[in-house]
Structure 1
Amino acid sequence: MKCIYKLLTAGLALLLTLSVQAAKPIAEEAAMVSPLLNGQQVPSVMATTVAGKQVNLQQVLTGKKTILFFYRGGWCPFCNTQMGQLKQISSRLNGMGFQLIGISTDAPEGLQASIKERDLDYTLLSDFNSKVSQSFGLAFFASQKTTERYVSKMKLTNPLQKNRQGEERLVLPAPAVYVFDAKGLVQFNYVNPNFRVRLDEELLLKAAELVK
Structure 2
Amino acid sequence: MTDQTIAHQVETFNEGFTAQIGPELSAVFDGEQADLRAAGVPSSALGVGATAPDAPLTDPKGAATTLDAVRAGTPTVLVFYRGAWCPYCNLTLRTYQQELLPALQERGAQLVAVSPQTPEGTETAIANGELAFPVLSDPENVLAGRFGIVTEPSAAARAAHTQLGFDVADSNADDTARIPFPSVFVIDADGAVRFADVHVDYTTRTEVATVVEAVDALGALAR
Indicate the TM-score class for this superposition, using the shorter chain for normalisation. 0.7 to 0.9
Q: Choose which of 125, 146, 151 in structure 2 pairs with 1:140.
A: 151
Which of 152, 157, 166 lines up with 1:154 in the alignment?
166
Question: Aligned equivalents of 1:94 and 1:177: distance in 2?
Answer: 17
Q: Of 198, 209, 212, which aligns to 2:216? A: 209
Q: Distance in 1 between matches of 2:208 and 2:195?
A: 14
Q: Which residue of 2 aligns with 1:80?
A: 90
Q: Secondary structure at the residue paired with 1:190?
A: strand
In the alignment, the residues of structure 1 paired with residue 160 and residue 138 of structure 2 have an alpha-carbon distance, to the nearest angstrom, of 21
Alignment check: 8 A CA contact 2:54 2:143 kept: no
Gaps (5+ residues) in structure 1?
1-28, 162-169
Question: Which residue of the partner structure matches residue 203 of structure 2?
Answer: 196
Question: How far apart are 1:62 and its partner, in Å?
Answer: 4.0
Q: How does 1:37-52 map to 2 (within 5 A)?
A: 37-52=47-62
Shift in Å at residue 149 of structure 1?
A: 4.0
RMSD across aligned C-alpha pairs, in angstroms?
Answer: 1.9
One-letter code aligned to 2:207: D
How big is the shift at 1:101? 0.4
Amino acid at match of 2:73: G
> Pick from 61, 69, 84: which aligns with 1:59?
69
Is the alpha carbon distance of 1:157 and 1:121 closer, same or farther for their aligned partners in structure 2, counting shifts above 3 Å? closer
> Which residues in structure 2 correspond to 1:1-212 (within 5 Å)?
31=40, 33=42, 34-88=44-98, 89-150=100-161, 153-155=165-167, 156-158=170-172, 159-160=174-175, 170-212=177-219
CA–CA separation in structure 2 for the residues paired with 1:151 and 1:43: 34
Residue-pair matches, total: 176
What secondary structure sits across from 2:76 in the alignment? Answer: strand
CA–CA distance in 1 between the matches of 2:121 and 2:216? 32
- Given that 2:41 and 2:198 are in contact with CA atoms closer than 8 Å, whether structure 1 keeps it comes out as no
- The 8 Å contact of residues 186 and 196 in structure 2, kept in 1 or not, is answered as yes
Distance 1:73 1:100 in 2: 17
1:194 & 1:149 partners in 2: Cα distance? 17
* Same amino acid, percent of matched pairs: 29
Residue identity matched to 1:154: F
Report deviation, 1:148. 3.8
The change in CA–CA distance for 1:109 and 1:97 in structure 2 (over 3 A counts) is: same
Q: Amino acid of the residue matched to residue 180 of structure 1?
A: I
Question: Tell me, what secondary structure is at the counterpart of 1:210?
Answer: helix
| Larger strand proportion of the pair | 1
Structure 2 distance, partners of 1:82, 1:109, is: 19
CA distance in 2 between counterparts of 1:95 and 1:150 reads 40
Considering fraction of residues, name the structure with more helix: 2
TM-score of the pair, normalised by structure 1 = 0.76
Structure 1 outlier segments of 4+, above 6 Å: none
Would the aligned equivalents of 2:114 and 2:136 in 1 still touch at CA under 8 Å? yes
- The alpha-carbon distance between structure 1 residues 181 and 32, as it changes in their structure 2 partners (threshold 3 A), is closer
Q: 1:178 to 1:196 in 2, by over 3 A?
A: same
Measured in 1, the distance between the counterparts of 2:162 and 2:67 equals: 27
Please report how far the alpha carbon of residue 41 of structure 1 lies from its aligned counterpart in structure 2 after TM superposition.
1.0
Residue 151 to residue 94, structure 1, CA distance change in 2 (3 Å): farther
One-letter amino acid of the counterpart of residue 83, structure 2 = G
Distance 1:196 1:35, change over 3 A: same
